[in-house]
């Protein structure tokens, strides 16, 4: 199932921008179970929804319509890429890091030293 592209729009005023943000937020929350299934993630639906909420909360204080429209464009693009499986699992899992207690597993050699993959995944 491929999602149709959504055209870029400009918010008329703050009320319209708020409506668009809430619509996108609802889309993300509704799609959490499907995202887990599509990308075969070892996460629960509440974990994904909590992460979505954190991403929206980071930008809560933005009041400039131009910035809001830009963030909406980026958010919608992320949503399309995630739902159309244009992102790999590693791209989706980047949102779930050690700070939230959802660490990406570290690979180690048998002797306990860090492997190439462990160093690569550290950033």
Q: Are 68 and 91 in contact (CB under 8 A)?
A: no
Helices (H) and strands (E) in the chain, counts: 5, 0
Question: How would you write the pLDDT of the chain (123 residues) with one tens digit per residue?
Answer: 677 666 778 889 999 999 999 999 999 999 999 999 999 988 999 999 999 999 999 999 999 999 999 999 999 999 999 999 999 888 888 888 755 555 555 555 555 566 676 667 765
Ramachandran bin of 103, using left for φ above 0, alpha for ψ from -120 to 50, beta for the remaining angles: beta
């Amino acid at each position: 199932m491929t999602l149709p592209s959504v055209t870029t729009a400009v918010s008329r005023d703050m009320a319209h921008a708020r409506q668009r943000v809430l619509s996108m937020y609802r889309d993300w929350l509704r799609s959490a179970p499907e995202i887990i299934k599509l990308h075969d993630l070892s996460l629960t639906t509440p974990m994904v929804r909590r992460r979505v909420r954190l991403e929206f909360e980071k930008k809560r204080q933005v009041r400039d319509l131009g910035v809001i429209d830009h963030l909406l464009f980026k958010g919608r693009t992320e949503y399309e890429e995630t739902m159309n499986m244009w992102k790999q699992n590693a791209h989706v899992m980047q949102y779930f890091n050690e700070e939230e207690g959802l660490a990406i597993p570290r690979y180690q050699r048998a002797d306990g030293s860090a492997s190439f993959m462990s160093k690569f995944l550290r950033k």
